[in-house]
A and B are shown apart, each in its own frame.
Chain A
């Protein structure tokens, strides 16, 4: 082992990954892009905790989508209790 047993975290728990994985950029999988209606959003964080790819960031200015990794699965749209997230066909956007 590269670190001594004393330094192994309790129960083997490690901090959640904070870096992006450049080897697995999944943005090209997306056919529908999530769009947030900031007026409806209550910042309940249900989408943030439900996103399987951790592509939603709870920023101080509101929820932000990381489109480099968002696969467009639509779970955020499904779980949003106030219907603030809509899915728009990806080709409607030129960027």
Chain B
């Protein structure tokens, strides 16, 4: 019998999971996946972006997720509602490293992008599970580069009147591009509204390899 893990074995598929705080960063989480997938679609890739409603995102501060899928081939697992094996994990808020199992199911070589001022060594202490598959931690102080936009415009499939990548979404998506090269940075810039924040995040994002963090103790 085929294992359910191998049912949708898609070599070209990259899964992006963004964790955020309910209501406050609802838009920012969605913007990261929408900006990345729209940029990938410009490159002729097959994409999907959606939000997890199982997390009940109407509750303020509740950890919520937004998902993206980018693939060279048509996505066969398009009806699977959650990213069970993410390649890229993004946190719009640093405290999510504590008490939330953000690295559940990550694939070997996965990267973690965090919006924080703190050094990656300090954040690494809070990651209790799943670090054996983690390749690097990327830190970027997105909150200093852009202002978070608190709105429910664009939630639940409605039109987003505030613009894609107007707030924290732009710098965080730029940090993902710097770490993984999943899309061309030029294509991302065409999508996001706050181009200046995306550019400075692309320059300032710091990449720390998990191997060196482990060796450092």
Contact = CB atoms under 8 A, between A and B. Distances in A.
* A-B complex is real: yes
A90 B95 contact: yes
Interface in A1-60: 26-31
A84 interface: no
B181 interface: no
B61 interface: yes
B62 A29 contact: yes
Interface string B114-147: 0000100011011000000000000000000000
Q: Interface of chain B, helix or strand or loop or mixed?
A: loop
Residue in A28, A30, A72, A73 with the greatest tally of chain B CB atoms within 10 Å: A28
B118 A28 contact: no
Contacts of A31: 21, 61, 93, 95
Contacts of A26: 62
Contact of A29 (B61, B97, B123, B125): B61
Contact of A91 (B59, B60, B98, B100): B98
Contacts of B72: none
B169 interface: no
B118 A27 contact: no
Interface string B86-101: 0000000111011110
B95 A91 contact: yes
Contacts of A94: 125-126
B63 interface: yes
Nearest to A90: B95
A91 B99 contact: no
Contact of A28 (B59, B60, B99): B99
Contact of A30 (B95, B122, B123): B95
B61 A72 contact: yes
B168 to A, nearest CB: 14
B118 A91 contact: yes
A54 to B, nearest CB: 17
B95 A89 contact: yes
Nearest to B100: A28
Interface string A57-95: 000000000000001110000000000000001110010
Residue in B94, B98, B126 with the greatest tally of chain A CB atoms within 10 Å: B98
Cβ-closest 7 pairs across A and B: A28-B99, A29-B61, A31-B95, A90-B95, A28-B100, A91-B95, A29-B62
Interface of B: 21-22, 59-63, 93-95, 97-100, 118, 122-123, 125-126
Interface of A: 26-31, 71-73, 89-91, 94
28 contacts: A26-B62, A28-B63, A28-B99, A28-B100, A29-B22, A29-B59, A29-B61, A29-B62, A29-B63, A30-B61, A30-B95, A31-B61, A31-B93, A31-B95, A71-B61, A72-B61, A73-B60, A89-B95, A90-B98, A91-B94, A91-B97, A91-B98, A91-B118, A91-B122, A91-B123, A91-B126, A94-B125, A94-B126
